[in-house]
Amino acid sequence: MYCQLLAALIHRHKVMRLGAVFASAFLRGISYLEQKWSQLCEDIRTGHLSPMITDPGCQMAMSCLLTSPNPGLANEIEEICGRSSWKGIICQLWPKAKFIEAVVTGSMAQYIPALEFFSQGKIPLVCPMYASSETYFGVNVKPLSKPADVVFTLLPNMCYFEFIPLGKNGTLSLDLDDDDQVPCDKVVDLVNVKLGRYYELVVTTFAGLNRYRIGDVLQVAGFYNKAPQFRFICRRNVVLSIDLDKTNEEDLHRSITLAKKNLHNKAFLAEYTSYADTSSVPGHYVLFWEIQGLEPDHQQKLMEECCIAVEEELDYIYRQCRTKERSIGPLEIRVVEPGTFEKLMDLIISQGGSFNQYKTPRCVKSDSATLELLNAHVTASFFSPRYPTWSP
């Protein structure tokens, strides 16, 4: 990343396009620039690459760019990066940039305000395609549309598409459990989807996947000629997501169930919920725990052990993002006062929820009154002390 940023700064008046696969990754680049801009300016000023870069390939590539000292360019960048506010920093550093290309749909939409802050809303956010690790699905035929209006036209030459009908809340509209086999006569093909309906995407690929459930919830938003266009809604059953990670309620419950065994005999976890905190880069998982009988002695060590225990039980992708990619920050547990979740229930019921059908939400939104209430009753906060184990 250091060398990529250095090259971008050297060619700051030539850069026409900025981006990353995901919006979160792009913001990590901006965060890294905030930390390293002084050293980057020094490299440009002296014409020598920082000794922190030890990879021979990177050294050779950068030697072609750092051919001589350029104090004038270094001073320009230093003046821009040294300002008190970084609002519009992208436009100032790369004045010829025409757009930022990144996935900003689904869980990535939470990063749009940060992108607009750094670009001052002057550079379009372009989400050009819809794809996954399994295959490419489709394209955005109107790449300059606003993020909220992005729809994708699926390309039938990429794979064979089928769709499982869903309810508006992402649940199966068929009388089936999530793990049940979906009858063939209930699956809809591409030409028979209905405008406004919600579906789960199923693909059969040239690589050998047969009727593979991608897990994405799509809504038919319109048609391009006769080809249906889809709006990405969310992942099915996902509770938390920062980057590539997708943690559902079952995974979260399993991890917390194992982690709470670290609590002493007299202490027990009364209630919990979660929240994906993207107010800083990288974002991180936050768990709100209401614990009964927790003694102050050794509380720090005990809760840190609980933090890392949760992380160790989360899936491979989370641990990869956390340990290798460093795209997710340390998991945080915020301990709340006794009775906090009763107040949370009162709040939700006062907003129209049913007392008989009330269930503690296992995830709260970042801009909700529930999050405000929870934060107002936090008594202590603890972070995971190390990276979880991960191996390729």
Straight-line distance from the first to the last Cα atom of the chain, in angstroms, rounded to the nearest whole number: 21
pLDDT of residue 295: 79
Question: Do the Cβ atoms of 93 and 77 come closer than 8 Å?
Answer: yes
pLDDT of residue 246: 85
- pTM of this prediction exceeds 0.75: no
153 sits in which H/E element: strand 152-154
- The Cα–Cα gap between 1 and 3 comes to 5
- As a whole number of angstroms, the distance between CA 130 and CA 143 comes to 12
Beta strand pairing call for 99-103 and 17-22: parallel
**Phi, psi for residue 351 in degrees, rounded to 5:** -90, 10
- Go through 2-12 and write b for each residue having 16 or more CB atoms within 10 A of its CB, e for each that does not: bbebbbbbbeb
* DSSP character at residue 6: H
Q: Which of 97, 73, 84, 107 is nearest to 327 (CA)?
A: 107
Helix/strand/coil for 177: coil
CA–CA distance, 96 with 12 (Å, rounded to integer): 8
Q: How far is CA 221 from CA 164, 229, 230, 231, in A?
A: 16, 6, 5, 6
Q: What is the pLDDT of residue 25?
A: 80
On the CB side of 391, CA atoms within 13 Å amount to 0
Backbone angles phi, psi at 3, to 5 degrees: -70, -35
- Residue 263 is predicted with a pLDDT of 87
Q: Is the dihedral of CA 116, 89, 366, 200 positive or negative?
A: positive
Q: What is the model's pLDDT at position 69?
A: 93
pLDDT of residue 216: 86
Task: Please tell me the predicted confidence (pLDDT) of residue 78.
Answer: 95
- Residues 11, 19: Cα–Cα separation, whole Å: 15
CB 253 within 8 A of CB 363: no
What is the CB neighbour count within 10 angstroms for residue 17?
12
> Could you read off the pLDDT tens digit of each residue along the chain, which spans 392 residues?
899 999 999 999 999 999 988 887 888 889 899 999 999 999 999 999 999 999 999 999 999 998 899 999 999 999 999 998 999 999 999 999 999 999 888 767 767 888 999 999 899 999 998 888 788 899 999 999 988 899 999 999 999 999 999 876 555 565 555 555 667 777 999 999 999 999 999 999 998 999 998 888 899 999 999 999 999 887 776 779 999 888 877 788 889 989 988 887 778 888 899 999 998 889 999 999 999 888 777 789 999 999 999 999 999 999 999 999 999 999 999 999 998 998 998 898 888 876 655 778 889 887 788 999 999 999 999 999 999 999 98
CA angle 290, 295, 301 (to 5 degrees): 85
